[in-house]
Amino acid sequence: MRSRLFKIATTADPLTATVLQIPAVERFYQTLLRWTEGNGGNTTNINKEWGRKLQESYSGNGLRQGSTSGVSGNWVRNPPNFWSGTDFINAVKLRGNLLPTKGIPSNPPHERRCRAGCNKTESLSHVLQGCPLTHWHRIRRHDRVAGRLRQISERNGWIVEEATRLRLADGSLRKPDLTMVRGDTIVVCDITIVWEGPNPLTMAYQQKVAYYRPTHNILPPEEEENAPDFYTAGPFIGNSTSRNEP
């Protein structure tokens, strides 16, 4: 890669030479040279360095776990057929935390407060996950995911019940979004849409499993021998947007 950079710098093409004289382009070029020198010109190491820089940035810190879940990026290579070009571009902006908000670092601190008046930094993560103004939008988003999951499950032979009330031995209550039954198997399913950031989604999943694990023992002792198999499922959808709130 370093040899390619030198070829670009010594090109006889007048347009390329003119572009390289633009201060921002020249700074970027010098940054690339430093990275290739520090990483021995190894493309793999350079890509890792790019990834690290992106993950530490305001817009990119929600992408830290992206490489651990290849499925979450499939839509970039294979977008839905019904999407328009605008849909795809907006989805990329959403995934990369590139939609315009007042909380961007280039705004002075006193101008970053949410326009809804909730005294929080107007980051995209706040708008999607925390702002009172979008509360009912979040409820509808959650319900659409639950409804879609129910449709798919019933299509595959599961009997699905919504908002089942499961009373534990200590009197406490659990109310998962969906309880699914097929044969001798019962799945307690609770949908969660969580932040994507430094912590892996598996951490939130394990917390959900621990919360519902007591429901596996709700049958009286005399019925446990013939009890069905219990499983806890926590379908997680991550918001890749960064969380930059005080």
Those residues with Cβ within 8 angstroms of residue 196's Cβ, 6 or more apart along the chain or in another chain: 62, 63, 64, 65, 66, 238, 239, 240, 241
Q: For residues 204 and 191, give the distance between their C-alpha atoms in angstroms, rounded to a whole number.
A: 11
Q: What is the pLDDT, as a whole number, of residue 153?
A: 92
Tokens 């917390």 map to which residue? 207
**Rounded CA gap, 56 and 51, in Å?**
9
Residue 198 to residue 56: CA distance in whole angstroms: 10
Q: At what angle do helices 43-55 and 23-38 cross, to 10 degrees?
A: 120
For residue 55, which of 65, 45, 63 has the smallest C-alpha distance?
63
> pTM for this structure?
0.66
Nearest to 188 by CA among 167, 170, 162: 162
Q: Which two tokens stand for residue 148?
A: 């879609």
The C-alpha atoms of residue 108 and residue 18 are separated, in whole angstroms, by: 34
Counting beta carbons within 10 angstroms of the beta carbon of residue 197, is it exposed (0 to 12), middle (13 to 18) or buried (19 or more)? Answer: buried
pLDDT of residue 28: 76
Write the CA distances from 39 to 2, 27, 30, 43, 90, integer angstroms: 10, 18, 14, 8, 34
Distance CA 126, CA 138 (A): 12
pLDDT 10s per residue in the chain (246 long)? 556 665 666 676 778 778 777 888 777 777 777 766 655 556 677 677 777 776 676 666 666 666 666 666 778 888 889 999 999 998 888 877 788 888 888 889 889 999 998 888 888 888 888 899 999 999 998 999 899 999 999 999 999 998 888 877 778 888 888 888 888 888 888 888 877 666 677 777 888 888 887 655 554 444 444 444 555 555 555 554 444 444
Question: Looking at residue 84, what is its pLDDT?
Answer: 93
By DSSP bridging, strand 173-174 and strand 166-167 are antiparallel
> What contacts 108, CB < 8 A, 6 or more positions away?
none
The per-residue pLDDT for 23 is 82
